[in-house]
Amino acid sequence: MNILFLRGNVNKISFKKKFTNSNFINYKLYKEIFHDSTSNYQIFTSYCSNYKSYLQDSDENKCSSLESECSIICKYINLLEQNHAISISEGCKFLYYMMYDKYIENQSSGCNMLEFYKASLKSYCENGDWEECNNFVEQIDVHLFEKYNNLIVLCEKFDKLINSGDNEEPNKCAYAKKCVELYEKYIKECLGGVNNYYCNELKNFKHDYEKKIKELTCADIATILTSSEFTDLASIIIVPVIIIPALCFIYYIVNKKEISKIDHIMYHIILDNINNIILIQNVTFFSMN
């Protein structure tokens, strides 16, 4: 069964204009779409008529009475489908957190959120038009969702930092401090230049935070965050410091009988220049981090 896309309050153009000031995740966009999904979702009830069949021991399952919540999930995905500039997969990753935070954690004790989420998505796959739906369900990994939850928590703290009033600088500094603590905790597994969605979003956050913190005067709050690429860049600089002089020394030892006095002097001048260049690069790099 296919239901015509609901136009509601979701507007591609307004979303695009509203959420392009940050390189960080589009969580605010997804959050607003989710808010729209929590009203007038009854039209998607038919999508969820079969979701219980995907639950283990459906009659006794703690998640078996969540038809309304399943309908909200289906409406949310349907709204994502309307906005072709939006990543449905990305939006669904954050949907997991939003559903758990708003409904499952407090209202449905004992319900396995991951099982309920998969069951609801499978129901949508049967009825919706999202071509990658089944593939997305098959690749669901609770550990990845936990990482996306980390991004959301970080995003929410940063959002409070950005939206605090001009006369609330102490609050802004408190939010900035929390952002730093969370970021430094999360970035550890990305050190060495790990290239994946999670680490790339943290890199985007670093850029946005460092731009924002320049507007504030917060004592003892880091203005430059740890770079995930630090290890690789350090290696690029440190390795030549060791290798180049070593090669020059080996060359000198092997060929010292053939090196004239003038060549000997020139050799040391060149070696000193190489070391000075590397030293300058080294100092510049560490001053930037």
Instruction: Reply yes or no on whether the pLDDT at 223 is more than 90.
Output: yes
CA dist list (Å): 109 to 61, 70, 106: 11, 16, 7
Residue-level pLDDT at 13: 31
pLDDT confidence band for 230 (50 / 70 / 90): low
Give me the mean pLDDT over the 131-158 stretch.
Answer: 90
Contact 158, 203 (CB under 8 A): no
Residue-level pLDDT at 8: 39
pLDDT confidence band for 58 (50 / 70 / 90): confident
Report residue 215 as tokens: 């507007």
Give me the mean pLDDT over the 89-110 stretch.
Answer: 80
Exposed, middle or buried by CB within 10 Å (0-12, 13-18, 19+), for 71? buried
Contact 282, 235 (CB under 8 A): no
Contact 236, 281 (CB under 8 A): no
Instruction: Reply yes or no on whether the pLDDT at 244 is more than 90.
Output: no
Contact 2, 28 (CB under 8 A): no
Residue-level pLDDT at 222: 94
Nearest C-alpha neighbor of 202 from the set 10, 25, 18, 2: 25
pLDDT one-digit tens code per residue, 21-54? 455 667 788 989 999 999 999 999 999 999 999 9
Lowest-pLDDT range of 16-20, 64-68, 73-77, 125-129: 16-20
Each domain of the chain, given as residue ranges in start order, spans: 12-140, 145-213, 230-288
Residue-level pLDDT at 195: 86
Residue-level pLDDT at 67: 93
Instruction: Reply yes or no on whether the pLDDT at 158 is more than 70.
Output: yes
